[in-house]
Amino acid sequence: MIIDINFVGLIIASIMASAVPLILASCGELITERSGVLNLGVEGMMIIGAISGFALMTITGSLIIAVFGAMLAGVLISTIFAFLTQTLITNHVATGLALTIFGIGISAMIGKNFVGIPGKEFPVLFEGLKDTIPLLSPILFGHSIVFYFAFALPFITSYFLKKTKIGLIVRAVGDSPESASNQGINVRLVRYACILYGGAMCGLAGAYLSMIYTPQWIENMTGGRGWIALALVVFSTWNPIKILIGALIFGGLTIIQFHMQAIGVRIPVQFLTALPYIVTIIVLVVISRDSRKIRLSTPSSLGKSFHKDN
């Protein structure tokens, strides 16, 4: 059997493409969680980003407005979460769930008029280099700018958290809000910023789905990716580089599923579709079994409200 080396490259590239929304959303959520805030509304913010991006693209015709508009929509919806959890000191879990329910509802409401409209072609970079190097070309070239950004993001995030002053502040706020506050850091402000940043990244992840990955609007098109992104943050033990690995594994599961159907493996399609969810559970179990390791890497104040009496 001859395996076409470029075909292998194409499969790897498609795995990477399906990992993009997971990387974006997880890296955003990772910053939010590093500041001590657990936002379970990832799915809701992603779907809002998806419909906003698609709607703006259809209405304005501008891809730039659409991409940034989707990020802004993510920021706006996460502002609700930030206001509730930070200013009104509500429970993070319940507020995040409300955000997801609300987001799915409102996206379907807005999206009603956009069902069945074909998307636009999103420009790709380095198109001309596509046939230059065997195997590597399809992996490296001919992708959207969001794709390249997503694969740079874990490294940027890691650098930000480890090497910059603001990154240090974010970690301090997440690990010990009391002492950070005593040092004169405005805990609430930092957390607001981290929540809104997470919203922007989830918005972008959603826009990638509806504008680039499958350029159309389908109700509920995020299909649980937001929850898998949340699981990836735990999987990574709050380390951005490991998010990259996790997202590629899940991307791989999604793609393998298609190929197994294509070559006629006689496994029910529903089982293959369920695979990413089942693997998520197994991975979570394996990672969390070592409770000491989890405790050491979890931001200490994750999910706990902080209120300064004055």
Partner 1 sequence: MIKIVKRDQPSKTIFFFTPVLAIFLTLVAGGLIFFILGFKPFEALKFFFIVPIADKYGFSELLLKATPLCLIAIGLSFCFKSNNWNIGAEGQLTFGAIVSGGVALLFYDQEGFYILPIVILAGAIGGIIYASIPAILKTYFNTNEILVSLMLVYVSKLILDYLVVGPWSNPEGFNFPETRQFSESARLPLLFEGLRIHAGIFLALAAVVISWFVFYKTYLGFQMKVSGFSLKTAKYAGYKGKKMIILVFLISGACAGLAGVGEITGPIGQLHREVSPDYGFTAIIVAFLGRLHPVGIIFASLVVAITYLGAETAQIFMQIPKYTGQVFQGMILFFLLASDYLLFFKFKFIGSKK
Name the residues that contact partner 1, by CB under 8 A: 40, 80, 84, 88-91, 93-95, 97-99, 101-106, 108-109, 112, 224, 227, 230-231, 234, 268, 270-271, 273-274, 277-278, 280-281, 284-285, 288-289, 291, 294, 309
Q: Nearer Cβ to partner 1, position 18 or 158?
A: 18
Least CB distance to partner 1 at residue 270 (A): 4
| Cα–Cα distance for residue pair 274/260, rounded to 1 Å | 14
What is the DSSP code (8-state) at residue 127? G
Least CB distance to partner 1 at residue 90 (A): 4
Which residue, among 132, 78, 68, has the nearest Cα to 102 in the 3D structure? 78
3-state secondary structure (DSSP) of residue 44: helix
- The dihedral sign for the CA sequence 60, 50, 85, 247: negative
Q: Which helix (H) or strand (E) holds 152?
A: helix 145-163
Q: Nearer Cβ to partner 1, position 6 or 58?
A: 58
- The dihedral sign for the CA sequence 303, 76, 232, 30: negative
Q: Nearer Cβ to partner 1, position 17 or 47?
A: 47
Contact 43, 104 (CB under 8 A): yes
Least CB distance to partner 1 at residue 173 (A): 22
Q: Nearer Cβ to partner 1, position 89 or 129?
A: 89
| Cα–Cα distance for residue pair 202/262, rounded to 1 Å | 31
Least CB distance to partner 1 at residue 110 (A): 9
Q: Nearer Cβ to partner 1, position 184 or 268?
A: 268
Q: Which helix (H) or strand (E) holds 15?
A: helix 5-34
Least CB distance to partner 1 at residue 185 (A): 22
Q: Nearer Cβ to partner 1, position 59 or 93?
A: 93
Q: Nearer Cβ to partner 1, position 65 or 97?
A: 97
Least CB distance to partner 1 at residue 235 (A): 10
Least CB distance to partner 1 at residue 250 (A): 12
3-state secondary structure (DSSP) of residue 234: helix
Radius of gyration of the chain (CA): 20
- In 10 A of CB 152, how many CB atoms? 11
